[in-house]
Structures are given as structure tokens and as C-alpha cells.
Chain A
Amino acid sequence: MKHESIETNAGLLIVLTLIVISIGGLVEIVPLYFIESTIEKVEVEGKETIHPYSPLELRGRDIYQREGCYTCHSQMIRPFRDEALRYGHYSLAAESKFDHPFQWGSKRTGPDLARVGGKYSNEWHVQHLIAPRSVVKESIMPNYPWLMKSLNYKNVRDRMRALKMVGVPYSENTAEYEANVKRFGEDVAKNLDILRAEENLLAQAASGNYDGKADDVTEMDAIVAYLQLLGTMVDFSKFDDGHFADFR
């Protein structure tokens, strides 16, 4: 093909340009799918401890995305000393393997949230989300008072099915359920059952009562349940210091 025929044909020029620049990305990304240690294996007593979100946590995550929390908060603790001291253990690739899309983020106006689970009480989160400056005077985080409204969970099954299509192991029949029991243990597997999604969501909201209001399942219940889970799925006391370095 002559150079001139490319230069005089805008459509062809665009296609060929895209091919050339995508090579730069592809050579970096594609091999990671074939390298065995890209995603760490995290198993305790034969069970994987990193599991997909329960229906309530999943709705919390949706709200986290809807509100754009990722524009100010990252969820990626890098393996640097200052970050380890402030936030805790660096994030593992495995910890976001069921996240579509992942919430690593790239801007830290506020602190990293990858290990915020368990750091504060539910009461604190509720108060802080409604009015951040009532607990942290100098905060510049916006108020999110509308999170106290009722949670719409009617379409939670469809949301789980959509994620299932991209490989998240939610179960819809006995065989898949049994496979999850083997993989994650029974307690977790129950929460991954699409057919029992609403029931599970209501049960978790009732027992957790994250927002302190017993009579209603609110968006606050969902997002606090999600925040309290962040970074808690790997019990690092069960692994040697060097264990996760061996994957690199």
C-alpha cells in the first residue's frame, strides 16, 4: 500500500493509527493474562477468602460509583513504606478480582479507602456521610444526606446476573451453588445465590442495622455495609510477610 493512499484516506488512517497505538497497550496488558502469578492465590484452610459482594454490599458499591466517591478516594494501597504505615498492607491484585469496574482510582483528595473496613463504627460512617464536618472539622468532603432514603433493591438479581456474565461466580442453580460452597464455604456461598438475593439483602440489613434505623432499608445501610467490608477479606496474620512478595 502506498503511503499517499493512506494519507488521503482519513478512515483508513484512523484505523491504522489505532492499531499502531494499541500495540503499546496490548504488549503490556496481554501477557498478564498468561503469567500465573498475576493474581495471588489467597486460600485459608482450602477456602478462598476473597469473595464477591453480598447483594447489600453490591448495592452499596453501586451507590459508591453513582456518587462518584472514586473521584476523591482511591482504593489502592501501593507497596511503599509511607502508605503501609498509614493505611496498612498493600492492596493485592486478588482483592479486586471480582470488581467490575475496579475502584483503584487515581486521585486522593481524601484518604485511600482500600482498608477502611472495621476502622470506624457504623455510627461514625453514617454521621460522617451525612455531615462530614460534624466529626472532622477541617473536612472538605461533600455532605450526602440523601443517602438516608430507602434503597431500591428490586433489580438486584439483574445486577448480579450482569456481573455473572463477566465472570463473577454468583450462582443460579444447585450445581453452581455447590461449586461456591466448595470454593468459599457455605456462609459466603449462601449470599452469592441470585435466587435468594432480596431475602439475603433484607436479612443483612436487619442484622447489621448499619444506619441505626430499624424500620427501613436505606442506601446508607448499603454503602456502610460496603465500606465496612473494604480490605477485610484477607487475614494477613495468616500469611508470612514475604508470602505475597513471592508472587512478583
Chain B
Amino acid sequence: MSSEKSKPTVQTTGHAWDGDLQEFNNPLPTWWLWTFYATVVFAIIYWVLYPAWPVGGSYTKGMMNDITYTTADGKTKTTHWNTRALLLKEMQIAREEQAEYLKDINALSFEQIRSKPEKSAFANSMAKVLFADNCAACHQSGGDGVMGRYPNLLDDAWLWGGSFDKIQETIANGRTGSMPGFKASLSTKQISDVSDYVLSLSGNEADAAAVKRGQAIFSGQGGCAACHGADAKGQDFMGSANLTDKIWTIADVSGAETAAAKKEAVMNVVKNGKTRVMPAWKGRLSATEIKILTYYVHQLGGGK
């Protein structure tokens, strides 16, 4: 920097380090100075309008008294600017805007919604968002579920019933499906036999003698019939699966290649049992949201 060693016309701060290291004392650029003054003016206006200064146990609330919302008892309340009241106001405006559509959804029966394409489209598009935020983590975004863990909602087999009312009950209150394990009460041979019987119900090949023994266990010692019904079609008040159709929810029979693997899958369920929990949504979602989801899920899986 030796070439710029001295610029005699410009003032310096008067300090010198290392003999000749000096600091210029230039005036601030004008544009900068005026911007600075402008921020000061802005701050003062801001203090007057918005909550700003602490005073004792409270604070100045500012003069922007422009947030108006409706309180629980139906009165309107106007308050100083704050994000919580602003949110309340925005939510109320949004609710009013949606009210026209939601009113109909609330008032109409499921069948009526189905018969009106416009309402049906509205319900479905709203349901897609709700489903993605709340249900997809388990039932997957398409609703096809995860074999063994989360039931497929696209097929027309329902553990807990596929009518609108049943589905609504499922979503609102949640469900716990519990299939007990039998490894303590039945021998491996018996479990093998009863599994053969179960497989035969949906048209899978199985040893005829074993099926016969299995049938006796199913309605006798095993106690399977008490839950799955004597016809093994399942009972939707306890979510016991229908064992006579080709649709499986826990034992991955359809995904197994060989007959041995199919049997293994069924035996595993009978041996170890399975308890699965569908959470209740009524505390988290509104009645209207649950209704919309019910409509959506019902038509996903050819509802009853």
C-alpha cells in the first residue's frame, strides 16, 4: 500500500500504528445516512402502531386495533395486532368461505353427496389432502397399505365393515384388532392342520386329511369359530378377518410363491397372533373432516 501512503487532502482519525498505519475519517455516504434516519423514523412509527415497549407487568399494545374476530359467545372482539388473534381471524374468514360447501357436506347424507358430482369432487379433493397428512404414513399415499401391518383400503374386503357408518366409526373412534397367538395352547401339528384348513377355505391346495382334522380344531379346541364365525367369514364387530376370500391382510398368502410358503405365512399368524391399532381421530380431526374422509375411503375400496 506504499503508493497510497499519504493523501493529504483527507482527514485521518489521528491514530498511527506501526509508525505509518493510519485510519481515514471520511464522512458517511449521504444515501447511507438518510437510509439510517429513515429506519429510525420507521422504528418510531412501528412503536406507536404495534406492541413494543414493556411497561411494568405488561406492554404497550400499539394503536393498530384492527383485528376483529368472533368470540365463542358470538360477540365480535377487536384487539391490538398480534399473530394469535390474526390467525383466529384468518381461520374464521376461511371457515366462512368454505361454509357454503361444508354446510352441504354436513347436511347431505353420503348417498346424496355421491349423487351430486360437484359435491363429490369437492369432498374428494379435500379428502386427498387430509389423507396425505394423517393416514398415508400407515395406509400409504395410495391407500394400498402394508401387508401384515396396515390394511389395504383399496380392496373390497373390510375387517370392521364397509358401510359408511362403520367406516365413520372406525375413523372416529379407532380400532384394535387382536388375533391371539396359539403356540401355547395348540401343538405345532394342530397349528399346521388348522392352517391347512384355513388355506383350503379360499381354494388353496391342501392335504384332505389335514383339512379334516383342521376343521375340527377350528370349530372345537382352537376356538377359532368363536371369533371368525362358524363359516369363517369373520365378524366385523371385532374385526376378525374373513378367511374364506382370497384377500389377506396379515398372512401374506397372495405374495407367497410356493404352497409351503403360503402355509408358513398362515402358521406364523396362528402361532404368534397379531394385535394392530388404528388410532382414533375424533380429537384431532373435526366431524366434517371425518365425514369427508369416510366418503373418500368408502369409494376407494368399493364400500358396502
Interface residues of chain A, those whose CB is within 8 Å of chain B, are 4, 7, 31, 34-37, 78-81, 84, 86, 88, 90, 118-124, 127-128, 134-137, 237, 240-242, 244-245, 247-248
> Chain A: which residue is nearest B84 at the CB level?
A245
Is the CB–CB distance between B57 and A242 below 8 Å? Answer: no
DSSP class of B's interface residues: helix, strand, loop or mixed?
Answer: mixed
Is the CB–CB distance between A121 and B59 below 8 Å? Answer: no
Is the CB–CB distance between B283 and A118 below 8 Å? Answer: yes
Q: What are 29 A-to-B residue pairs whose CB atoms are below 8 Å?
A: A7-B15, A31-B59, A34-B54, A34-B56, A35-B59, A36-B57, A37-B58, A78-B83, A81-B87, A84-B91, A88-B284, A90-B84, A90-B87, A119-B134, A121-B277, A123-B276, A123-B277, A128-B137, A134-B146, A135-B150, A136-B136, A240-B71, A242-B77, A242-B85, A245-B79, A245-B85, A247-B84, A248-B51, A248-B83
Q: Nearest chain A CB to B112's CB is how many angstroms away?
A: 26
Is the CB–CB distance between B284 and A240 below 8 Å? Answer: no
> Which residues of A lie under 8 Å from residue B283 when comparing CB positions?
118, 237
Q: Nearest chain B CB to A237's CB is how many angstroms away?
A: 8
Instruction: List 7 other contacts, CB 8 Å, given A37-B58, A118-B279.
Output: A34-B57, A80-B87, A90-B84, A122-B277, A241-B71, A241-B88, A248-B85
Q: Nearest chain A CB to B276's CB is how many angstroms away?
A: 7
A84 to B285, CA, bound (A): 12
> Which residues of B lie under 8 Å from residue A134 when comparing CB positions?
146
Is the CB–CB distance between A123 and B149 below 8 Å? Answer: yes
Is the CB–CB distance between A118 and B284 below 8 Å? Answer: yes
A247 to B91, CA, bound (A): 18
Give 1 or 0 for each of B135-171: 1 = CB within 8 Å of chain A CB.
0111010000010011000000000000000000000
Q: Nearest chain B CB to A10's CB is how many angstroms away?
A: 13
- Asked if A242 meets B54 with Cβ closer than 8 Å, knowing A86-B133, A118-B279, A120-B137, the reply is no
A109 to B137, CA, bound (A): 16
A127 to B133, CA, bound (A): 19
Q: Nearest chain A CB to B171's CB is how many angstroms away?
A: 13
Is the CB–CB distance between A242 and B69 below 8 Å? Answer: yes
A7 to B21, CA, bound (A): 14
> Which residues of B lie under 8 Å from residue A124 when comparing CB positions?
137-138
Q: Nearest chain B CB to A226's CB is how many angstroms away?
A: 17
> Chain B: which residue is nearest A92 at the CB level?
B84
B10 interfacial by beta-carbon distance below 8 Å: no
Is the CB–CB distance between B84 and A79 below 8 Å? Answer: yes
Q: Nearest chain A CB to B87's CB is how many angstroms away?
A: 4
A11 to B44, CA, bound (A): 36
Within 8 A of A (CB), among B112-139: 133-134, 136-138
> Which residues of A lie under 8 Å from residue B146 when comparing CB positions?
134-135
- Asked if A120 meets B138 with Cβ closer than 8 Å, knowing A31-B59, A36-B57, A127-B149, the reply is yes
Is the CB–CB distance between B58 and A35 below 8 Å? Answer: yes
Within 8 A of A (CB), among B1-45: 15
Per CB-CB distance, the 3 closest pairs between chain A and chain B, nearest first, are A31-B54, A240-B72, A121-B277
> Which residues of B lie under 8 Å from residue A7 when comparing CB positions?
15
> Which residues of A lie under 8 Å from residue B88 when comparing CB positions?
241-242, 245
> Chain A: which residue is nearest B285 at the CB level?
A88
Is the CB–CB distance between B149 and A242 below 8 Å? Answer: no
A185 to B56, CA, bound (A): 33
> Chain B: which residue is nearest A237 at the CB level?
B283
Give 1 or 0 for each of B74-85: 1 = CB within 8 Å of chain A CB.
000101001111
A90 to B87, CA, bound (A): 10
> Which residues of A lie under 8 Å from residue B138 when comparing CB positions?
120-121, 124, 135
Which of A35, A78, A134 has the most chain B CB within a 10 Å cutoff? Answer: A35
A12 to B22, CA, bound (A): 22
Is the CB–CB distance between A119 and B277 below 8 Å? Answer: no
> Which residues of A lie under 8 Å from residue B54 when comparing CB positions?
31, 34-35
B210 interfacial by beta-carbon distance below 8 Å: no
> Which residues of B lie under 8 Å from residue A245 when comparing CB positions?
69, 79, 82, 84-85, 87-88
A124 to B149, CA, bound (A): 9
B184 interfacial by beta-carbon distance below 8 Å: no
> Chain A: which residue is nearest B14 at the CB level?
A4
> Which residues of B lie under 8 Å from residue A241 when comparing CB positions?
71-72, 88
A31 to B51, CA, bound (A): 13
> Chain A: which residue is nearest B77 at the CB level?
A242
Is the CB–CB distance between A248 and B82 below 8 Å? Answer: yes
> Which residues of A lie under 8 Å from residue B84 when comparing CB positions?
79, 90, 244-245, 247-248
> Which residues of A lie under 8 Å from residue B90 when comparing CB positions?
81
> Which residues of B lie under 8 Å from residue A122 when comparing CB positions?
277
B94 interfacial by beta-carbon distance below 8 Å: yes
Q: Nearest chain A CB to B14's CB is how many angstroms away?
A: 9
> Chain A: which residue is nearest B86 at the CB level?
A79
> Which residues of B lie under 8 Å from residue A4 when comparing CB positions?
15
> Which residues of B lie under 8 Å from residue A37 when comparing CB positions?
58
